[in-house]
């Protein structure tokens, strides 16, 4: 059985993540960046599915979150409130990066004053205790929210999906609540730029694991002749074959929203989630005095 030791350390993925950002045109969502980095690293499906302890995230997602955070600290990456990461102006000008130098700079900025790069332990336990701010996408409130979503009753989760879609601009959103309907949980209409309308069927499932390609195929089969597009929402993940199936050429398109994206959308719309005001300490400013 595969172990988490076979997942590359966060610093060992910096060059590949930097390459992924370049290939994506300089910006991308977390999922796009993770998928492209994993593709470049050529990680096996078994390694990709290793879960991080006490978390709904995979080990690779957890470590890539730290990779992005370190690269942000040194000004190579930046991210928006909508969860889109991009290369900064200085980041775009770079041809290559030095992971060891990035780690040294970040840990010096956080007052650890690490002078000997060889003495740094890159194990995950050290990541959480090295003084660097925990990446937003793995902060505890997100995991708490995922657990709440996971424990909602099926009809409550369907109503939440209905509210989410309405808040996102969908109209005539209905929850069918029928059994034996091929997994269809509801329907709605989305209009682009007030001109073009698409009829969409959706399925929402509370999963802890990954949605398979077979489930995507079953959903598409139930959609046949009934809608222009499909939307599959889950609290879990989508396997790589499931993502490929959802985007299969010549087949009815199915959009996917996994647990991380669902949490991000609830945060964006402030549905059951409210921001807390706080102060941010600019450690680099104090070091520059």
Would you say residue 134 has pLDDT above 90?
no
Residue 219: in which H helix or E strand, if any?
A: helix 213-223
Q: How confident is the model at residue 75 (pLDDT cuts 50, 70, 90)?
A: very high
Specify the range with the lowest mean pLDDT, choosing from 34-48, 217-231, 275-289.
275-289
Domains of the chain: 4-138 (1.10.10), 153-269 (3.40.1350.10)
What rounded mean pLDDT belongs to the chain? 85
Report pLDDT for 179.
59
Q: How confident is the model at residue 122 (pLDDT cuts 50, 70, 90)?
A: very low
Half-sphere exposure at residue 62, Cβ-oriented, CA atoms within 13 angstroms:
25
Report pLDDT for 192.
81
Distant-in-sequence, close-in-space partners of 34: CB < 8 Å, separation ≥ 6: 60, 61, 64
Q: Say if residues 91 and 75 touch (Cβ distance below 8 Å).
A: yes
Of 155, 103, 100, 157, the C-alpha closest to 132 is 103
Global pTM value? 0.61
Distant-in-sequence, close-in-space partners of 193: CB < 8 Å, separation ≥ 6: none
């Amino acid at each position: 059985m595969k172990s988490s030791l076979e997942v590359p350390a966060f610093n060992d993925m910096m060059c590949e993540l930097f390459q992924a950002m370049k290939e994506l045109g300089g910006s991308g969502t977390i999922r796009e960046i993770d998928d492209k980095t994993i593709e470049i690293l050529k990680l096996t499906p078994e390694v990709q599915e290793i879960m991080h302890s006490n978390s709904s995230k995979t080990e690779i997602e957890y470590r890539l979150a730290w990779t992005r955070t370190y690269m942000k600290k040194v000004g190579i990456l930046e991210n928006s409130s909508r969860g889109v990461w991009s290369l900064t102006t200085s980041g775009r000008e770079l041809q290559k990066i030095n992971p060891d130098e990035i780690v040294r700079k970040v840990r010096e900025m956080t007052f650890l004053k690490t002078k000997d790069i060889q003495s740094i332990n890159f194990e995950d336990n050290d990541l959480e205790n090295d003084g660097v701010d925990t990446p937003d996408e793995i902060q505890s409130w997100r995991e708490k929210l995922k657990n709440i979503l996971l424990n909602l009753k099926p009809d409550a989760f369907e109503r939440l999906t209905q509210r989410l879609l309405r808040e996102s601009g969908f109209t005539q959103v209905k929850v069918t609540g029928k059994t034996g309907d091929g997994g269809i949980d509801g329907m709605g209409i989305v209009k682009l730029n007030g001109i073009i309308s698409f009829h969409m069927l959706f399925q929402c499932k509370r999963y802890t694991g990954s949605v398979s390609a077979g489930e995507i195929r079953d959903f598409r089969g139930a959609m046949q002749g009934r809608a222009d597009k499909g939307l599959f929402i889950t609290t879990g993940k989508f396997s790589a074959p499931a993502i490929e199936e959802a985007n299969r050429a010549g087949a009815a398109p199915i959009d996917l929203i996994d647990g991380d994206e669902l949490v991000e959308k609830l945060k964006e719309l402030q549905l059951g989630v409210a921001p807390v005001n706080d102060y941010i300490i600019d450690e680099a400013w104090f070091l520059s005095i």
